[in-house]
Chains A and B, each alone.
Chain A
Amino acid sequence: MELELGLALPDPGPKAVGELGFLRLDGTKRGFGEAFGAEGKPTLPLFVRDNDDEDDGDHGDGSGAAHRETSNKRKRLVGWPPVKCAHRRTCGGGAAYVKVKMEGVPIGRKVDVSLHGSYDDLLRTLDRMFPPSADQQGAPAEDEAAGWRRHPYVVTYEDGEGDWLLVGDVPWEAFATSVKRLKILA
């Protein structure tokens, strides 16, 4: 996981002048480290770039430049800014939380589908949320990416039309926009 040094606002515009105008009195610009005054400590940005996504081969388009663009999926800092779930849902900001229920487990979970780029991604998260019990473990977990395949779980989802389908049948993008709920059958 790479920590990005400093803020990288895309298009300054007049309103954002305050955040970017690190000018000394003599007119030259200061570097970020200096501007922030902290003794060489890297600033923690709102977003932390996740290198794993760049290595993920599960992207539709071919060209290298486009790949870098679409794989620029930034993982948010957990729990920051401190707004409650309900508020995040109302506001959009791209978050797409869907409920996940597993058969036999009383408390459901929620997962933000928009933070994932592929089925592998999503299923890895589900794996973490609902770890299998000891007797359900198959082969040792050397290959994390294929880990979910060895589980006896069947993951289903409810689409926009209210139908329950098996996860993995349609292309990821189509799934991500239509998924309303997830259910894991043990």
Chain B
Amino acid sequence: MGRGGSRAAPAAAAPPWHALPDEVWEHAFSFLPAASDRGAAAGACRSWLRAERRSRRRLSVANCYAASPQDAVERFPAVRAAEVKGKPHFADFGLVPHAWGAAAAPWVAAAADGWPLLEELSFKRMVVTDECLEMIAASFRNFQVLRLVSCEGFSTAGLAAIAAGCRNLRELDLQENEIEDCSIHWLSLFPESFTSLVTLNFSCLEGDVNINVLERLVTRCRNLKTLKLNNSIPLDKLASLLRKAPQIVELGTGKFSADYHPDLFAKLEAAFAGCKSLRRLSGAWDSVPDYLPAFYCVCEGLTSLNLSYATIRGPELIKFISRCKNLQLLWVMDLIEDHGLAAVASSCNKLQELRVFPSDPFDPAGQVSLTERGLVDVSASCPMLESVLYFCRRMTNEALITIAKNRPNFTCFRLCIIEPHTPDYITHQPLDAGFSAIVESCKGLTRFSVSGLLTDRVFKSIGAHADRLEMLSIAFAGNSDLGLHYILSGCKSLKKLEIRDCPFGDKPLLANAAKLETMRSLWMSSCSLTLGACRQLARKMPRLSVEVMNDSERACPLDSLTDESPVDKLYVYRTIAGPRSDTPSCVQIV
């Protein structure tokens, strides 16, 4: 700056770079979309800290108790899009006590106060009430995106408030929420002048919607790209909806089942033929192989296919998937079986993500022929495969070693062998060698779930090799404290660790207390922990919140329990907000 160049006239001295006004830095930081980059910039010096935080537009709070809503709003006053997550992941499987917490209300209240220009709000695993939704509708005049994932506590009355109040709404995305049906025709509350919708997802809603109202809404929202229906929409209505919105990119069909009628088939086929932009498809398809050919015209364009709620099986399913040559994402039930996955392996070479869900998770025998064979085939033939979630009933070390060799590019590998403690079914050895091979080969692995019979040895490999691992899930594995010690003393990038039913005790927890502050959270249930260790941990690490939960039947005040008392559930997380004040009686903060 100002060096070299003409010396004809004395130019005014340019300010040194570090004294540039904040607006310049704010503009520079606007080119750093990744939160981690912005965070790094903020750590460089005070003026960058100030400029960055005052200009940050997107905020992601991965643990709603890590900071208070007031802190967040004060520190980042210019936020336009916020995402807040609440309950621990194991809440999805019923392991977290029901009234544990994660209320969205304090966040909505703080946002209403401090972020009047807020445009996007996303909550995951939180309790969102109708009052929250009413407040959102009333507080943000330019509100555009509402995304609720795995939330509960609200009803169609809250949705009515959103529909009526959010003039500029672009996205209403409801994923896997528990929504109380108050029989309110919330869809009717979008005014006739309202045309801005781009995404409408109400697939998790259990009640009926007024189909005529839906049709009119879809007709006037010419920019609608994503439409995911619920089970109440019959097939013939689906056909007419699609004719009104041929521009759609993502479709959730809702319940796709009906007796075969040739004219309904023809209607559907014609409707799909009109959807030239359709790329993502999902829905609950029940045994309607006769209708699958109606989709054939869209197969080649599909990049994403979610059949995880579909109970179709057999040759029609395979014929259908084999036509989807450009699939990048496939979620399917184990009804596809090994030979179906072999077809996927040969047809869908662009596959990046595969999830196979159990159709009968509680049947120990399993009637379906889905084994390690399917996963081996897909990982051998799909060079871009990097994310897998696979439920099966048997596995071998050899298969895992082969998979690891074929696919060193895995970033997410989650294998769930349904019966706990299942060994290699051929050698009867633990599956240590197989899972170790995955972690040694896949240098970019960020998410890992292990299962089957496993000793401490596998954890030694994970601790030593999984340098980029951020989330690890362990169940029914390990022999001793060493297993947990290997993980906590290794795994440089570990953020979330969730463990259930493992023989891990107090020692590795206390020996690695400092590690816990470098992580977002730790969940341990049905392990061998005592209250004394939790007390020690809490004393040693004041910036951790140590929550202890026992069966709500035996809710006794903590003070009356001895150090030797076993702890059934432990949840530890770092926080700058101090102990929360909204714990139910079954949760105690040590």
Contacts and interface: CB of A to CB of B under 8 A. Distances in A.
Contacts of B500: 79
A44 B151 CA distance: 32
Interface in B347-390: 357-365, 369
Contacts of B453: 36-38
Contacts of B359: 91
Interface residues of A, number: 48
B362 A84 contact: no
Interface stretch (B22-30, B262-270, B414-422): B414-422
B284 interface: yes
What class of interface size applies to chain B in its complex with A? 35 or more
Contact of A76 (B150, B362, B430, B553): B362
B223 interface: no
Interface in B96-144: 98-99, 127, 129
Nearest to B92: A84
Interface in B406-432: 416, 418-423, 425-426, 428-430
Interface in B6-39: none
A93 B360 contact: yes
A79 B94 contact: yes
A83 B421 contact: no
B376 to A, nearest CB: 15
Contacts of B93: 78-80, 82-84
A10 interface: yes
B19 to A, nearest CB: 54
A82 B416 contact: yes
A84 B420 CA distance: 18
Nearest to B551: A128
B430 A37 contact: yes
Nearest to A15: B369
A19 B357 CA distance: 21
Q: A36, A107, A108: which has the most chain B beta carbons within 10 Å? A: A107
B110 to A, nearest CB: 21
Contact of B365 (A9, A82, A85, A129): A9
A90 interface: yes
Q: B93, B369, B430: which has the most chain A beta carbons within 10 Å? A: B93
A67 interface: no
A131 interface: yes
A107 B345 CA distance: 45
A37 B432 CA distance: 12
Q: A86, A95, A128: which has the most chain B beta carbons within 10 Å? A: A86
B98 A109 contact: yes
B289 interface: no
Interface string B494-513: 00000011010000000000
A64 B319 CA distance: 52
Q: B178, B369, B421: which has the most chain A beta carbons within 10 Å? A: B421
Q: A35, A88, A91, A108: which has the most chain B beta carbons within 10 Å? A: A91
Contact of B429 (A9, A16, A37, A43): A37
A77 B308 CA distance: 23
A22 B428 contact: yes
Nearest to B372: A18
A81 B391 contact: yes
A19 B362 contact: no
B428 A35 contact: yes
A82 to B, nearest CB: 5
Contacts of B176: 84, 86
A161 interface: no
B309 A90 contact: yes
Contacts of B365: 9-11, 16
Nearest to B480: A39
Contacts of B419: 7, 19, 45-46
Interface string A1-32: 00000010111000110110010000000100
Nearest to B430: A37
Contacts of A22: 428
Give the secondary structure class of B's interface: loop
A30 B429 CA distance: 13
Given A44-B501, A79-B90, A80-B420, A91 B361 contact: yes
Contacts of B249: none
A37 to B, nearest CB: 6
Interface in B481-522: 500-501, 503
A95 B423 contact: no
B358 A91 contact: yes
A10 B358 CA distance: 20
Contacts of B98: 107, 109, 129
Contact of A128 (B308, B393, B553): B553
B319 to A, nearest CB: 23
A140 interface: no
A11 B98 CA distance: 38
Given A18-B425, A39-B479, A87-B308, A47 B361 contact: no
B358 A83 contact: yes
A104 interface: no
B364 A47 contact: yes
B148 to A, nearest CB: 14
Contacts of B77: none
B503 A106 contact: no
Interface in B56-81: none
B562 to A, nearest CB: 23
Nearest to B422: A19
A141 to B, nearest CB: 10
Interface string A101-129: 10000111100000000000000000011
Contacts of A15: 369
B558 interface: no
B552 interface: yes
B153 interface: yes
A43 B552 contact: no
Given A18-B394, A79-B95, A109-B98, A87 B309 contact: yes
A47 B420 CA distance: 10
B394 A94 contact: no
A93 B425 CA distance: 25
A101 to B, nearest CB: 8
A18 B501 CA distance: 25
Nearest to A8: B364
B198 interface: no
Q: B150, B365, B475: which has the most chain A beta carbons within 10 Å? A: B365
Contact of A46 (B309, B418, B430): B418
A92 interface: yes
Given A87-B308, A87-B309, 13 more contacts: A18-B394, A38-B421, A38-B479, A39-B479, A46-B362, A76-B362, A78-B93, A78-B95, A81-B418, A90-B284, A93-B363, A106-B153, A107-B152
7 contacts: A19-B394, A19-B422, A37-B453, A45-B419, A93-B360, A106-B129, A129-B98
